[in-house]
Amino acid sequence: MAELRLGPLLRHTDESSATVWVETSRPCAVEVRCSTGARAHAPTFQIAGHHYALVTVTGLEPGTSASYEVFLDGGAVWPLPGSAFPPSVIRTPAEGDTVRMALGSCRWAAPPADGKDPVGTDALDSLATRLATDPDAERPDVLLLLGDQVYADETSAATRNWLSSRRDLREAPGGQVADYEEYCHLYYESWLDPQIRWLLSTVPSLMIFDDHDVVDDWNTSAAWLADMRATAWWQERLLSGLMSYWVYQHLGNLTPAELADDATYAAVRDTPDGTDVLRAFAAKADADFASVRWSYRRDFGRVRLLMVDSRAARVLDEDRRAMLDPAEAEWVREQVLTGPGSYDQLLIGTSLPWLLPHLVHDAEAWDAALCAGERGARWARRGERLRRGADLEHWAAFPRSFADLAALIAEAGSGAGAPAGVYVLSGDVHHAYVAEASWPSGGPDARVVQLTCSPVHNSVPVWMRLGFRFGWSRPARLLGRALARHGRCPRPPVKWRKRGGPWFGNQLMTLTLHGRSARLRLERAGADGRLRTVHETTLTTP
């Protein structure tokens, strides 16, 4: 009999449909049955000996809530027998509804309940506990996971022990994951956490990768990539990382219409074993980054969310270095500017912050200038070593892309029909802050704010905390400008001020949007497992 190995994950939802993702132990027919009578089924597809299905449920009514069950070949497998959690539900939005988005990034898998947690309470575990124990608790309409959903290069002791049963860890890549099977193990370790499993079954989620989903510093520079390609293990790591991301994260980001038009998805389902099809897709993505688009757009009523791939879409050649390749950049521009006046709030999700502490920004711009040869070959070599050693590869390290995004935001936020707010949503840096952008002249009418929230479950050393705090200070600005002058860097086209933070700890932000109003809340997970508000503010008003 088929068993449920992982899931269900409730992914896309809209007014009348939803998608539910599962992994099963063998080929089977997967059925989702809703309490309203709606039913949907799909056969599994196979990748590298693993079996998956993405079931599209249709015929749902707007503004309703329906519990659901999952059946494999007619046998009930969800809810789990004896589960202490409430039934999983599919909630559909109605026109004019308030939209609540919880966001965060960087999550190490939480240890078992009887194990010591070296980095403190998992904020997602805390959110799950709140929703499971309090039926009246405010529930997110969607969970935005902004990168590092798994750590392929920083594995737990339990995972390293499991890896050692498969291969010799004295050989590269050592205790890091090496292939598709080992990536699957990371997702099991992370998503079989009982609280996380239930949370992802009942709150829709959208995801995008960041570096640790593959390896730290992924696509930092052309020189870095050349060094990685010279190793014996990199190609298998990258292809397995992209394949597993496609299966476990990317597919669920797509709408039913996009799934129906996706040639790779169709080809995988049309063959008894889709491994070769998906591997060829990943190899194509590696060889020609412009051939695959991981970015996507979602509209929630009059709220537009654009999730931007700021890892795989990079151009790394120093003479034309860019965060987004030209085709990707043009697609982003089209999505932002399509239908002027058709949205009240614009959200741009990018795993890497656009606006950083001022010293960090200037240091990255300076380093980019050195690497480009602004101060000669010797400084370029020093710049490359610094870029890798200090992770200087955010938007600031791609100065033209930073300026292009500023120009696009100014254009989108100006004139008749401009949104009330433009919010850049990011993670990566293991702390949280709010920064507001302004233009020296001719700025947008919309309020423009960087919202950074990280980690969900990780840590940051004390020296780095001190550095981030110092990075916002006036002395740090002076130091940063000195670096920028040495690198002959132009001044950024925008200015920005910190409006809140930095905050440290395992945390989540919730952005509540209704019409032209927006409100932000930051909550931190405490040792008692509860989320507590540490900051709350109004961003825009009608």
pTM passes above 0.95: yes
Mean pLDDT computed over every residue of the chain: 96
Determine the residue type at 227.
D
pLDDT band at 505 (very low <50, low <70, confident <90, very high): very high
Q: Which residues contact 201 (CB under 8 A, 6 or more apart)?
A: 7, 8, 9, 10, 78, 88
% the chain with pLDDT above 70: 100
pLDDT in tens, 407-464: 999 999 999 889 999 999 999 999 999 999 999 988 899 999 999 999 999 999 999 9
% of the chain with per-residue pLDDT over 90 = 95
Distance CA 8, CA 6 (A): 6
Q: How far is CA 426 from CA 260, 277, 397, in A?
A: 30, 32, 16
Which pLDDT band holds residue 316 (cuts at 50, 70, 90)? very high
By the 10 Å C-beta count (0-12 exposed, 13-18 middle, 19+ buried), 380 is classed as middle
- Bridge partners, 248 (sequence order): none
The pLDDT, as a whole number, for residue 113 is 75
189 burial via Cβ count (<10 Å: 0-12, 13-18, 19+):
buried
By the 8 A CB rule, do 185 and 246 touch? no
Largest CA distance in the chain: 69
Q: Which of 53-67, 332-346, 493-507 has the lowest mean pLDDT?
A: 332-346
Kindly tell me if the per-residue pLDDT of 290 is higher than 90.
no
| Beta pairing, strands 531-540 & 99-104 | unpaired
In the chain, the amino acid numbered 511 is: L
Chain segment 78-133, per-residue pLDDT in tens: 999 999 999 999 999 999 999 999 999 999 998 887 778 999 999 999 999 999 99
Binning pLDDT at 50, 70 and 90, where does residue 378 land? very high
Neighbours of 473 (CB within 10 A): 14
Kindly indicate the confidence band of residue 542, based on its pLDDT and cuts at 50, 70 and 90: confident
Q: Give 488-534 as a DSSP string.
A: TPPPPS-EEEEEEEEE-SSEEEEEEEETTEEEEEEEEE-TTS-EEEE
461-500 tens-digit pLDDT:
999 999 999 999 999 999 999 999 999 999 999 999 999 9
Smallest CA-to-CA distance from 435 within 524, 350, 358, 363 is with 358
Query: Which residue, among 265, 196, 292, 307, has the nearest Cα to 56 in the 3D structure?
Result: 265
Q: Are strands 45-47 and 75-78 parallel, antiparallel or unpaired?
A: unpaired
- List pLDDT tens digits, range 168-222: 999 999 999 999 999 999 999 999 999 999 999 999 999 999 999 999 999 999 9
Q: Could you give the CA distance from residue 274 to residue 276 in angstroms, rounded to a whole number?
A: 6
Position 341 scores a pLDDT of: 84
In our burial notation (b when 16+ CB lie closer than 10 A, e otherwise), range 508-520 reads bbbbbbbbebbbb
The stretch 366-374 carries a mean pLDDT of: 97
Q: What is the set of domains in the chain, with CATH numbers?
A: 1-95+173-207+209-294 (2.60.40.380), 303-504 (3.30.750.180)
pLDDT on residue 340: 76
How far out from the chain centre does Cα 498 lie?
A: 23
Within 10 angstroms of residue 314's Cβ, the number of other Cβ atoms is 23
Helix (H) or strand (E) holding 44: none
Give pLDDT tens digits for 10-38: 999 999 999 999 999 999 999 999 999 99
Average pLDDT over residues 68-82: 97
305, 349 Cβ separation under 8 angstroms:
yes
- What is the spatial distance between Cα 69 and Cα 389, in angstroms, rounded to a whole number? 48
Query: For the chain, first and last CA: distance in Å?
Result: 56
Tell me whether residue 363 is exposed, middle or buried, using C-beta atoms within 10 angstroms of its C-beta: 0 to 12, 13 to 18, 19 or more.
buried
pLDDT at position 506, please? 98
- The SS3 of residue 535 is strand
3-state secondary structure of 503: strand
- Using pLDDT thresholds of 50, 70 and 90, give the confidence band for residue 45: very high
Report the distance separating Cα 534 and Cα 542, nearest Å: 25
